[in-house]
Structure 1
Amino acid sequence: MSVKKTSLLALFLALSVIGASIKIPSFVGSIALDALPALLAAALIGGRPGSLVAGFGHLLSALIAGMPLGPAHFLIAFEMAAIVWLFSWIYRTGKKKTAAIVFILSNSLIAPLPMVFLFNTAFYAAVVPSLLVGSACNAFAALLAIPRFEVIFQKMVWGSAK
């Protein structure tokens, strides 16, 4: 990875720390806007850097909340990384709205499924509404911000083209 991409990765990780501090009301406490910088990174510099930001961003959000689910947060961080990579892959095919919908559904309905086995069905039912709101906020903000940042990236970061 080039110095430029590494610097951008560090920037997006720093933004993820800020997003991790902006919480979505939930009994878990780790649902936040930490995925927004990951989605931006995934669309602007690639799926792998976006995945790294997503995984570390979730761990930072959980740490700020006091790690309420303990070691389960490492599974969630892996899921977040995979979901953001999928978002990047779909987004780069030109299906931007589909990428956002897949992110929202994957993050709010599919990713918490292992919690049914780790905890119970009631936990899943209780966490899904907050995850749905948080995922939608992250995805819609990303869809609004990415086109604006693409213009900046093309002119200032990548030169005239990627």
Structure 2
Amino acid sequence: MKTQHIALAAIFISLSAIGGMVKIPLGIASIALDAMPALIAALFLVAPLAGFVAAAGHLLSALFGGMPLGPFHLLIALEMFAVVWLFAKLHSNGKTWWKWIAFIIGNGLLAAVPFYFLLSPAFFYASVPGLLLAASINAAAALLVAPFVTEAARRFA
């Protein structure tokens, strides 16, 4: 792994931390822009490193929010890793629109499934609408920013 990739991952983790500070309360969950930098990172980094950016971004966002789910945030960080890893793999395979759909479904719905069993069905049903909205906002923000970031990267490469 190149030093440049590690430095780029550190920058995206920092951006995720900043995005994690932007909290919009929504029922039992909150919307934060911590996933958006990880989605942008997936355009430049290999899948495992982009997934690490997402996991670290979630943990920092949860830390800023007071860790309301306690140790469950480690599970959520693993889920974020997996969802962004898949996003990066789909991107590298040229699945332009499928990567966005996979992210929204993975982060907004599938990531909540373990909590149906670990916490309660009520928690699952109460959190899914907010998670789908948060995933959609993060994806839309990344989709809007991505062309500008890739163009800037081409200029400096």
Q: CA RMSD in A?
A: 1.3
Q: Is the 8 A contact 2:29 2:131 kept in 1?
A: no
**One-letter amino acid matched to 2:139:** A
Deviates most, 118-127 or 90-99: 90-99
Partner of 1:111: 111
In structure 2, distance between residues paired with 1:47 and 1:110? 19
Structure 1 residue runs without a partner (length 5+): none
What's the CA shift for 1:28? 3.9
- Whether 1:70 aligns to 2:70 is yes
Distance in 2, Cα, partners of 1:57 & 1:121: 27
Whole-Å separation in 2 of the counterparts to 1:153 and 1:3: 17
Considering fraction of residues, name the structure with more strand: 2
Q: Which runs of 5+ in 2 are unaligned?
A: none
Q: CA deviation at 1:137?
A: 0.7
Match of 2:55 in 1: 55
Shift of residue 27, structure 1, vs aligned partner: 3.7
CA contact (8 A) 1:30 1:62 kept: no
- After superposition, the C-alpha distances for 1:13-52 in whole angstroms (9 at most, x for unaligned) are 1100111011232244554110001111111222122111
TM-score by length of structure 2 reads 0.94
Correspondence 1:11 to 2:11: yes
Number of aligned residues? 157
- Which residue identity is paired with 1:147? P
Cα distance in 2 for partners of 1:33, 1:2 equals: 27
Structure 1 residues 133-144: aligned runs within 5 Å: 133-144=133-144
1:65-111 deviations in Å (ceiling 9; x for gaps): 11111111100000000000100111222222211111001111110
TM-score (norm 1): 0.91
Task: Percent identity, please.
Answer: 46
Asked if the contact 1:22/1:32 (under 8 Å) is kept, the reply is: yes
CA–CA distance in 2 between the matches of 1:29 and 1:20? Answer: 13
Q: What are the equivalent positions in structure 2 for 1:75-94 lying under 5 Å apart?
A: 75-94=75-94
**1:25 counterpart SS class:** strand
